[in-house]
Structure 1
Amino acid sequence: MSEMKPGLFDRVMQQSALKRFRRWAETAPSDDLRELRRNRSAARRMKYYLDELIHVADNRLALPVVGNQAVPVPYDADWSWRPELWCGPLATQGVSSVQSKSMLGREVTLFHDCQHSELTLRQLRNTSVDDLAAYGLRLDVFRFDGSYLSLVVDLPPSAAHGLKRNHLIRLDAIVELERPLEIFGRLNVQHGPNTEQIVRELPLNDRNLVLEFDLAYTKLNEKRVEKVWIDLIFENPEMSQVILRDLYFSRRPRAEL
């Protein structure tokens, strides 16, 4: 008996699984409910891993390099990060008539108090050779009857780990505006029952923007840091379009005085 070639068994198993799920899909309209429920459960488990595979594969195969976490951070940075929305394709790439607290991906949430939402969020594919991020985010605002609009980015636990009052947290962004617009960045650091906040206005004098938050001016309890997030607050956003071609964060210890 000849020896099975490497990978052949995996291909046979893959074809078998494909035929089984195809058969289940074809017989779903006539299956009894007990069997249909069992097949649905198996399909959902399979879908989770398929979605993960597709996400990672798209990240690695697309151009610009998807999943790229290489960012031009300061040489003395001890942490850096780019949110998943700017790294790879999301399962849901757009939302229209966006309701408050709607999420796009796992880290970006839109907040507003509009009675009638005429807002859209959409992930865009970056194609310029100058773009480091594979994807961008477009926010379209038509009629706006609310008093506030903010985009919240939850930073990962690694941003809070080891965070000290001598740290500077830096936000780098590439922003394209349809018309002049005031945008503010607010850093939020939860420590125990308290939350420290620092608000800075984005200097919209260039496409490439940098904003730094100095924690030395806060009352941060370094031993109780739990969570860090950033609000991007848009003033008078009616009839405007904002494209965030890139968004990434870093932190570094400030120079001793």
Structure 2
Amino acid sequence: MANRFNILIHKLAQRRALRRWTDLAKAARNMDLADLRAIRVDARALNRPLREVIHVADSRLMLPLIGSNAIQSPANSDWSYRPELWRGPIEPRGIAAVRTKAKLGTEAMVFHDCKISELTLRQIRNTHEHDLAPFGLTMDVFKFDGTYLSLVLNLPETAVQGLKKKHLLRMDAVVEMEKPLEIFARLNIKHGPNTEQIVRELPLNQDEVMVEFDLAYTRLNEKRAERIWVELIFGGPQMNQIILRDITFSRRPRAEL
């Protein structure tokens, strides 16, 4: 009963405040300048928390939900992962004139050799009905005077736990771009003093793409596997906008022959 009473009082107070600010908005054009200045201070003080509430509410109520880890991994997968950049909000949300080794959250880092950086990165909110990832990454590249541009994704420790040479490591991506370009994915597995590498080109003739890395063709020392990172290498990125809507990784044992 008390809760219903409190809700009623809250609604009445909200209506009264809305009515007051509606009347002030109508009267503002003919109001005395001293009074208008005071009202502006109050309005600005209200505007900040209101905009913050709207921003947080829109972000949390949009689909897919923030923190969603729905992944379409292949059958028999024993590990799957969506990096934090596509799973939840990161800091900073965007970077202009990106310097090499700039970090995006705790797992991603950008590398390039441009003398003058005209690269902008921004985390965006996915809103398409078919999106599984809550967030995406937009890369705007203007003039590019370097020879390479890459995005490094460090995978968590769980990626190497139980890792065997019989495993297939798969990367799924949803990619959009203004004009065609080449994107390569380089898998790196550190085991002891050595690092195994496998390079695959993403087949970008469709929005949703997939590449697999077969560890049977490596010299992986299973007992000494320490960490895994994947480097996305963008060829000829100048004057282009690249949107990575989603990136996920999964692992499954190869079928026995």
TM-score under structure 1 normalisation? 0.76
Q: Name the counterpart of 2:136.
A: 136
For 1:240-255, list aligned pairs within 5 A.
240-255=240-255
1:114/1:144 CA distance change after superposition, 3 Å = same
Q: Distance in 2 between matches of 1:254 and 1:205?
A: 26
Check the 8 A contact 2:101/2:111 in 1, yes or no. yes
Aligned ranges 1:207-218 → 2 under 5 Å: 207-218=207-218
Contact in 1 for aligned 2:196/2:219 (Cα 8 Å): yes
CA distance, structure 2, for counterparts of residue 153 and residue 91 of structure 1? 16
Match of 1:222 in 2: 222
Other-structure match for 1:7 = none
Cα distance in 2, alignment partners of residues 175 and 107 from structure 1: 19
C-alpha distance after superposition, 1:181-211 (max 9, x if no partner): 0000000000001000000000011100001
Partner SS, residue 153 of structure 2: strand
Report the CA distance between 1:87 and its aligned residue: 1.1
Q: Deviations over 1:35-54 (max 9, x none)?
A: xxxxxxxxxxxxxxxxxxxx
What CA distance in whole angstroms lies between the structure 1 residues aligned with 2:57 and 2:84?
A: 14
Aligned structure 1 segments of 4 or more residues deviating by more than 4 angstroms: 56-62
Match of 1:161 in 2: 161
Deviation string 1:104-148 (CA, Å, 9 cap, x unpaired) is 111111000111111011000101111010110001111111111
CA distance in 1, matches of 2:70, 2:60: 14
Match of residue 193 from structure 1: 193
Report the RMSD for the aligned CA atoms in angstroms.
Answer: 1.7
Structure 1 unaligned runs (5+)?
1-55
Q: What secondary structure does 2:197 align onto?
A: strand
Q: Deviations over 1:202-227 (max 9, x none)?
A: 00111000010000000000000001
Q: Is the 8 A contact 1:174 1:208 kept in 2?
A: yes
Deviation at 1:64, TM superposition (A): 1.2
| Alpha-carbon shift at residue 68 of structure 1 (Å) | 1.1
Which ranges in structure 2 are unaligned for 5 or more consecutive residues?
Answer: 1-55
Q: Give the deviation of 1:59 after TM superposition.
A: 7.9
Alignment size in residue pairs: 203
Aligned partner of residue 180 in structure 1, secondary structure: coil
Q: Is the 8 A contact 2:62 2:127 kept in 1?
A: no
Q: Quote the offset at 1:91 in angstroms.
A: 3.0
Matched AA of 1:244: L
Shift of 1:62: 4.2
* Matches for 1:65-80 after TM superposition, within 5 Å: 65-80=65-80
SS in 2 for 1:86: helix
- Maintained 8 Å contact 1:59/1:89: no
